[in-house]
A and B are shown apart, each in its own frame.
Chain A
Amino acid sequence: MSAPRETQAGTNATAFVLEAKQIEKSFGATHVLRGANLRIRRGEIHALLGGNGAGKSTLIRIISGSHRLDAGSISIDGRLDPNPNAIAVVFQELALLPHLSVAENIYLPHRKCAFARLGEAACYAEARAALALVDEELAERTLDWPVAQLDLHERQFVEIARALSSGARVLLLDEPTANLTFSETERLFGILRRLAQQGISTLLVSHRMGEIRALADVCTVLRDGRSVLDRVALSDISDEAIVEAMGQKSSAVSPPAPRGAPAASARMQIVLRSPGVSLSVASGEVLGLAGAPAGPSGVIETLIGASRPAAWQITIDGIDVRFSSPAEAIRAGVGYVSGDRAEKGILATLPILDNIVAAARVADRRILASSREATAAQTALDTLSIKASSIDALPQTVSGGTQQKLLLARWLAPAPKILVLEEPTRGVDIGTKREIYAMIRDAAAAGCVVVWWSTEFTELIAVCDRVVAFDLSGQASGVLDRDELDEVSLSRATGMAA
C-alpha cells in the first residue's frame, strides 16, 4: 500500500487538493459512513465506486457542506476550513429549479450576495459559455426556457454546466452520466480531461465500469461506509477485484445468462409500424431501442398508452390495437418501468406494498386491497431479493437502486405480455444491474416481449436480441441483429459518434 506514504508527502506539488479523513456519519440509527477516506490530487480524475447505498452520495454531500459530519476531517489545499467555492457538485438527484430559466440555474447558485444585482447580460453570457462547452445546440436553444421544459438528459447538462462554470478546482460529479447517452458521455469526458490538464480535479461516481476505465486514473471504493480500497490505480486492478471489493459477486461483470426459448403456447407477435419502418417482435425476444430520447419515447408512449396522438401503430397477433390510456395498455398486458423513478414511478408517500401491487390492481381490475396482496408483495420482494425492512415501510427508506427493483417487482404478478422499459438501470450498481438483466431475460423466457430503451450501449449489446437505432432527429435509422451488435455500429446508426 502506497497510500500512507503519499499522505506524508504533505505540501509538495503532489499534495492532495482534497482530503477527507475518517469521515463518520449517521442518520438517526443508520450508521452510513464509518470512517471513509478520500484523497484527490490536483488535476486527477478519481473514481468513487461502491454499491447502492454504500455512502458515496452521502460522502459527497458532506464534502460539499450540505450535510454535517459526525467525525473526521476535511481539508482542501491542506486547510481545514475549506473555501466552499473551491468545490462544485453535480448532485445525483439533480438540484435544479424547474421554474427558473436554464441560464439562471447555471448562474444563480454562484451568486452569494443576497442584495446584489443579478446582471442579466452576465448571467446569459456565462451560462451560454458553460452550456456550450457541453452542448452547443442546447446553449443556443434553451437558455431562457424554464428548466421544467427540458428532458432529463438536457437537465443533466445544465447541472454539469453549472459545475463547470463555478470556477471550482474540484468537481464532485455524482453519477453525472446516468442520464446521458454514450456520445454525450464521451463529450463530457473530453471536457473533464481538458480540465484535468488545467489542474482541475474531478471525482466521478458511476456504476458503469467501461466509462470509469475510460476516464479515471485512480479509484476509491466504498463499502458500507468504509473505504475498502483507497487510492488504487485503475491500471493495477481488475474489474473483478473492484466488484469484489464493493461486496458484490464478481460474476456480475460477466455477460448475462443464456436465454431460453419461450414455450410455444405463449407465442405472440407484435408489429410496430411508423411511416417507413415496420418491426416485428415475438415472444421471448428482447428488442432494444437505442438513440437520443426523441425516437424511442415515441414508441414507448404509444405502447404504454401515454400519449393520445400516437406516432406508431401497433398490431398484436394481427389485430390493430390503440391504447387510449395507460390503464387500457396495462389491461392488454403491457408493463412499463421507467428509470425516472421520482417522476414516473415511485409513490413516495405510500408503503412499499402499495408500490408493488399497484399495477396488478389495475391489470386485474381489483376492487379489494386484500391481505393476499401482502403475501404477493412479500413474495415479489423475496423473488427479486429486494432488501427492505418491511413491505410497510416507505420507499424512501431503501436506496435508489433498490427502488428501481421495486418498480420491476410491480410486474412480477401481472406477468405482462409486453414489458416496456425506459432506462430501467439508471443509477443502479453493477450487482443490481446484473440482477435486472437477469430479470429481463427471465421475463422474455417466460414468453414476454421486451422493448427496452437504454442509452448504455454495453447493456443493449449484452442483453438484446435486436436493437432498433434512432438517429438524432428521432427517425428509425436501422435495425441491428444480435451478430451485428457492437458499439461502433450502434454509434454509427444513432449518429452518436464515439
Chain B
Amino acid sequence: AEGAKTFTVAYIAPSLDISYWQWVGYGAKTKAAELGMTYIEMDSHNSPADQMTNVRTAITRGVDAIVMGPVSSTSTPPVLRLLKEKKIPIAFAGIGPQPGETDYTSAVTANNFEGGKAEGKFVCALAKERGGNKVGMLSLPQDRENAQKYLAGAKESFQADGCELVQILQTKGLTVREAVDQANDLLTAHPDVKAIYGMYDEAATGAAKALQTRGLVGKVGLATADGSPTTVKLLREGVVQGLFLQEAGGQGIEAVQQVYNALTGAAVTQSLPLPLALVTSSNVGTPEAQAKLKRVYPPSAGDY
C-alpha cells in the first residue's frame, strides 16, 4: 500500500485483565505494524455498555477498521448495526458474532465445541490410563459462551468414552490463587478423580500446584486449553500432560489481516476457525509445536 493512506485499526478487547486477550492484542499489533497500519487498543471491562462506548469512541477517532473480542456474542448485533451504517469493517477474534448476523468481515475463532470435545477425549483417556473414569473440571465462568461450548463438547466426549464428570468448579476471578483453592477442594471432595480438565491456563496452573503439593503429579492427569509460558513449562516438567493450544496471537494476526483485506479490496474469509492443536510433553520440542506456540503468546511473555 505504497503512498496510500495509513489505515488505523482498533482492537477492542472484552477485558485486558486477562492475558489471553492481551495476546490477541499482541498478534493484532504485530500484524498491524507489518501492514503499516496504526494500532489502538481499548478495554470493555466485560461490560457491553463499555464495549458500545468504545466502538463509538473508535468511530469518533476515525478508525478504518475494528478487531473485536466481544464481551459476548449476544452483545454484537447493535455493534454490527452501527458499523454497517458507518461502513467500517470488523473482524471478530476469539468469540464470534451472534448466530444469524451476517454484516461482518470475518470471525477468527477457535472451534470451542470441537476443542472441548478433543480435550474431553484426551482427559478421559488420561483418567483411564490411571485406572479410573472420574474426571473433574476447572472451568471458566460459565457465563461466557466459549466456556459453555467447551463444556458441551467435553461432556459429549465424556459420555461417549464412559467417563464421569464428577464436579465442575468455576473461577470467578480467573486467578491462579483461586484455582489452587478450587483444585484442592475438588480433590478433597472427590479423591477418586483421576484426571482434571483445565479450561484455561490459570486453572491448569492452579491444579498443577494442588497436584504438586498433594504428591499427585502423574497420578492425576491434567490437560488444559489455551497455553502460556507457565503451562508450557508444566508440560515440559510432566505435570501437565496435554495442552490444547488456542492461537491467541494467531487470532489477532488473522483478524487484522482480514480487515486489511477488506479495506484494500482483497478477498476475505468470513468464517475462519483456527484449529486447536494438541501439544504433549513428547512433542512440545518439535518445530511444528514451536511454530504453533509462537502464534499463542509473545516472546515477552516467556519461553516457548
Please say whether the chains A and B touch (CB closer than 8 A): no
Which residues of B pack against A, CB within 8 Å?
A: none
Which residues of A pack against B, CB within 8 Å?
A: none
